[in-house]
């Protein structure tokens, strides 16, 4: 379980996140939904212990990230937005390397690699160098690396960005499997259909704040709209029809 309490972070004069609070439960997919610049990535980076917040707290399975970042990170897997693979290493070498970074060795390490390779159906690519891998294959390696230490909690920052339809479907399957296995899955996304279909709980962010949260259907009800995109626009207080300026010039 991930709990964020009154998180605050500014970059100079820019307030990226201001008093953000929410809880992502085990066995659920919780999605941060917000316009560009609304503070989603900053929030996820604070959860991962990758940046120091100015205020507030983040707890991963009850461990305060600020007090014990290593213990919190041991309970957390982070799926990076750029897969960042080493092209000279095989998929298996990536998994082994990250397992070693998490302190695994011997049969524990061998078993962890086998387990992840089986779960993600990676056997056919395990001993190939990652150079030339398809997006879907790269995604599997990046995800395998993120979950090699069997973290209960996994965060994904816009995981479907840049993926083709086959890879998106594969990713969706993986997210649902992680949820079914009882993991706490926290992601950020812009893709409304994906958010509606996958999320148990949606946290709508705008200008660094949480403006509404609930199940997709509860948010639609709350807004009085008939789909999640309209509900999001209404609840986030965004303009319904952005002015491009083009019409005035025509």
Ligand X SMILES: Nc1ncnc2c1ncn2[C@@H]1O[C@H](COP(=O)(O)OP(=O)(O)OP(=O)(O)O)[C@@H](O)[C@H]1O
Name the residue nearer to ligand X (CB basis): 41 or 167: 41
Rounded to the nearest 10 degrees, the angle between the axes of helix 106-119 and helix 135-147 is 140
Closest CA to 200 of 3, 24, 48, 45: 24
The first and second tokens of residue 125, run together, are 């690519």
Pick 61 or 207: Cβ nearer ligand X: 207
| Interatomic CA distance for residues 88 and 67, integer angstroms | 37
Q: Pick the closer one to ligand X by CB: 101 or 238.
A: 238
In contact, 64 and 72? CB cutoff 8 Å: yes
CA Rg, the chain, in Å? 19
Nearer to ligand X, 147 or 205 (CB): 205
How many CA atoms within 13 Å lie on the side-chain side of 215? 6
Instruction: Write 101-106 long-range contacts (CB < 8 A, 24+).
Output: 102/74, 102/148, 102/149, 104/148, 104/149
CB closer to ligand X, 42 vs 234: 42
Find out whether 151 and 121 touch, Cβ atoms under 8 Å. Answer: no
Smallest gap from residue 173 Cβ to ligand X (A) = 24
CB of 23 to ligand X, least distance (A): 19
Rounded CA-CA distance 106/144 in Å is 18
Q: How far is the CB of 210 from ligand X (least distance, A)?
A: 12
Q: Write out the H or E segment, with its range, that includes residue 104.
A: none
- Closest approach of ligand X to the CB of residue 179, in Å: 23
Closest approach, Cβ 160 to ligand X, in A, equals 13
Q: Residue 11 or 97: which CB sits closer to ligand X?
A: 11
Tell me whether residue 32 or residue 76 sits nearer to ligand X (CB atom). 32
Contact 76, 65 (CB under 8 A): no
Q: Which residues in this chain contact ligand X in the complex, by CB under 6 A?
A: 11, 14, 16, 34, 36-42
> Shortest Cβ distance from residue 105 to ligand X (Å)?
36
Residue 187's beta-bridge partner residues? Answer: 31, 156
Pairing status of strand 2-11 against strand 14-24: antiparallel
Please, what is the minimum distance in Å from the beta carbon of residue 41 to ligand X? 3
For residue 213, give the 3-state DSSP assignment: strand
């Amino acid at each position: 379980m991930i709990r964020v309490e009154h998180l605050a972070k500014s970059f100079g004069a820019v307030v990226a996140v201001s008093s953000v609070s929410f809880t992502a439960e085990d066995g659920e997919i919780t999605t941060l939904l917000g316009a560009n610049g609304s503070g989603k990535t900053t929030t996820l980076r604070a959860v991962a212990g990758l940046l120091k917040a100015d205020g507030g707290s983040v707890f991963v399975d009850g461990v305060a990230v600020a007090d014990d970042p290593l213990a919190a990170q041991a309970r957390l897997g982070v799926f990076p937005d750029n897969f960042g693979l080493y092209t000279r290493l095989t998929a298996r070498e990536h998994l082994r390397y990250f397992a070693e970074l998490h302190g695994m060795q011997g049969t524990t390490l061998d078993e962890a690699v086998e387990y992840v390779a089986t779960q993600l159906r990676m056997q056919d690519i395990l001993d190939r160098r990652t150079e030339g891998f398809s997006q879907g294959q790269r995604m599997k390696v990046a995800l395998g690396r993120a979950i090699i230490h069997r973290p209960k909690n996994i965060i994904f920052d816009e995981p479907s960005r840049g993926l083709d339809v086959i890879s998106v479907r594969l990713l969706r399957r993986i997210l649902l499997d992680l949820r079914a296995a009882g993991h706490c899955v926290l992601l950020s996304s812009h893709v409304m259909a994906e958010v509606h279909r996958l999320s148990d709980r949606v946290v709508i962010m705008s200008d660094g704040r949480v403006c509404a949260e609930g199940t997709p259907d509860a948010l639609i009800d709350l807004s009085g709209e008939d789909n999640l995109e309209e509900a999001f626009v209404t609840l986030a207080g965004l303009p319904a029809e952005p002015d491009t300026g083009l019409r005035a010039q025509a």
